[in-house]
A and B are shown apart, each in its own frame.
Chain A
Amino acid sequence: MSSLPNPAPTVTSSSQAFWNATAEGRFTLQRCTSCDVVVWFPRKHCPDCWTETLSVFDASGKGTVYSFTIIRKVANDYKGATPFVVAYVELEEGPRVMTNIVDCDPESVTVGMPVEMVFHDTGEGNALYRFRPSAN
Chain B
Amino acid sequence: MSIRGAAFIAGIYEHPGRDLPHHTIWDIHAEVAIGALADAGLSMSDVDALFCDGTAGFGVLTLCDHLGLRPSFVDNTETGGSSYLAHVGHAAAAIAAGKCSVALVTLAGKPRTGSPPVKWAAGPETGFETVWGTASAAHSYALAAQRHMYEFGTTSEQLAEIKVAASIHAQYNPNAFLQNVVTVEDVVNSPMVSDPLHRLDCCVVTDGGGALVIVSPEIAKKLGKTNAKILGHGEAVKHTNNGRIDLTHTGAVWSGPRAFAEAGVSVNDVDYASIYDSFTITVLQTIEDLGFCEKGKGGEFVLDGGLVAPFGKLPFNTDGGGLCNNHPSNRGGITKVIEAVRQLRGEAHPAVQVPDVQVALAHGTGGSLGSRHGSVTLLLGQEDA
Q: Does B268 contact A (CB under 8 A)?
A: no
A75 CA to B194 CA, complexed, in Å: 13
Question: What's the tally of chain A residues with a CB closer than 8 Å to chain B?
Answer: 47
Minimum CB–CB distance from B96 to chain A (whole Å) comes to 33
Residues of B within 8 A of A92 (CB): none
Q: Does A40 contact B (CB under 8 A)?
A: yes
Q: Point out the residue from A4, A19, A72, A94 that lies within 8 Å of B193, measured CB to CB.
A: A72
Can you name the residue of chain A whose Cβ is closest to the Cβ of B128? A41
A75 CA to B244 CA, complexed, in Å: 30
Residues of A within 8 A of B384 (CB): none
CB pair B133 A88 closer than 8 Å: no
- Per-position 1/0 for A28-46, Cβ under 8 A of B: 0000000001111101000
| 8 A Cβ contacts from B238-255 to A | 240, 242-245, 247
CB pair B124 A78 closer than 8 Å: no
Q: Which of B65-73, B85-93, B141-149, B167-175 contacts A (4 or more CB under 8 A)?
A: B141-149
CB pair B247 A88 closer than 8 Å: yes
Q: Point out the residue from A71, A97, A112 that lies within 8 Å of B133, measured CB to CB.
A: A71
CB pair B133 A72 closer than 8 Å: no
CB pair A74 B192 closer than 8 Å: no
Q: Does B153 contact A (CB under 8 A)?
A: no
Evaluate whether A71 and B134 lie within 8 angstroms (CB atoms) in the complex, with A40-B242, A95-B243 already known. Answer: yes
Evaluate whether A9 and B133 lie within 8 angstroms (CB atoms) in the complex, with A69-B146, A72-B194 already known. Answer: no
Q: Does A66 contact B (CB under 8 A)?
A: yes
A72 CA to B143 CA, complexed, in Å: 14
CB pair A69 B142 closer than 8 Å: yes
CB pair A66 B135 closer than 8 Å: no
Q: Does A86 contact B (CB under 8 A)?
A: yes
CB pair A71 B139 closer than 8 Å: yes
A43 CA to B244 CA, complexed, in Å: 16
Question: What's the tally of chain B residues with a CB closer than 8 Å to chain A?
Answer: 35
CB pair B147 A66 closer than 8 Å: yes
A8 CA to B129 CA, complexed, in Å: 12
CB pair B126 A88 closer than 8 Å: no
Minimum CB–CB distance from B286 to chain A (whole Å) comes to 18
CB pair A37 B242 closer than 8 Å: yes
Evaluate whether A68 and B194 lie within 8 angstroms (CB atoms) in the complex, with A41-B124, A95-B244 already known. Answer: no
CB pair B130 A67 closer than 8 Å: no
Evaluate whether A38 and B130 lie within 8 angstroms (CB atoms) in the complex, with A67-B150, A69-B146, A72-B193 already known. Answer: no
CB pair A69 B194 closer than 8 Å: yes
CB pair B245 A77 closer than 8 Å: no
CB pair B243 A39 closer than 8 Å: yes
CB pair B139 A86 closer than 8 Å: yes
CB pair A74 B133 closer than 8 Å: yes
CB pair B244 A4 closer than 8 Å: no
- Per-position 1/0 for A1-27, Cβ under 8 A of B: 000110111111011000100000000
CB pair B132 A98 closer than 8 Å: yes
Can you name the residue of chain B whose Cβ is closest to the Cβ of A99? B132
CB pair B195 A86 closer than 8 Å: no
CB pair A100 B128 closer than 8 Å: no
Q: Does B122 contact A (CB under 8 A)?
A: yes
Q: Point out the residue from B126, B147, B242 that lies within 8 Å of A10, measured CB to CB.
A: B126
CB pair B244 A96 closer than 8 Å: yes
Can you name the residue of chain A whose Cβ is closest to the Cβ of B241? A47
Residues of A within 8 A of B194 (CB): 69-72
CB pair A111 B147 closer than 8 Å: yes
Residues of B within 8 A of A103 (CB): none
CB pair A75 B135 closer than 8 Å: yes
CB pair A76 B131 closer than 8 Å: no
A22 CA to B125 CA, complexed, in Å: 17
CB pair B133 A48 closer than 8 Å: no
Q: Does B191 contact A (CB under 8 A)?
A: yes
Minimum CB–CB distance from B128 to chain A (whole Å) comes to 5
Q: Point out the residue from B132, B147, B192, B193 that lies within 8 Å of A86, measured CB to CB.
A: B132
Residues of B within 8 A of A128 (CB): 131
Residues of A within 8 A of B136 (CB): 74
Q: Does A118 contact B (CB under 8 A)?
A: no
Q: Point out the residue from A9, A73, A88, A100 that lies within 8 Å of B143, measured CB to CB.
A: A88
Evaluate whether A47 and B242 lie within 8 angstroms (CB atoms) in the complex, with A69-B195, A76-B133 already known. Answer: yes
Minimum CB–CB distance from A31 to chain B (whole Å) comes to 12
A94 CA to B371 CA, complexed, in Å: 17
Q: Which residues of B does A touch, CB under 8 Å? A: 122, 124-136, 139, 142-144, 146-147, 150, 191-197, 240, 242-245, 247, 371
Q: Can you spell out 11 A-B residue pairs with CB atoms less than 8 angstroms apart? A: A9-B126, A41-B124, A68-B143, A69-B194, A71-B134, A74-B133, A76-B133, A78-B133, A95-B242, A95-B243, A112-B150
- For the A-B complex with A5-B133, A86-B132, A94-B243 known, give 7 more contacts whose Cβ atoms are closer than 8 Å: A9-B131, A11-B127, A39-B243, A43-B124, A72-B191, A86-B133, A112-B150
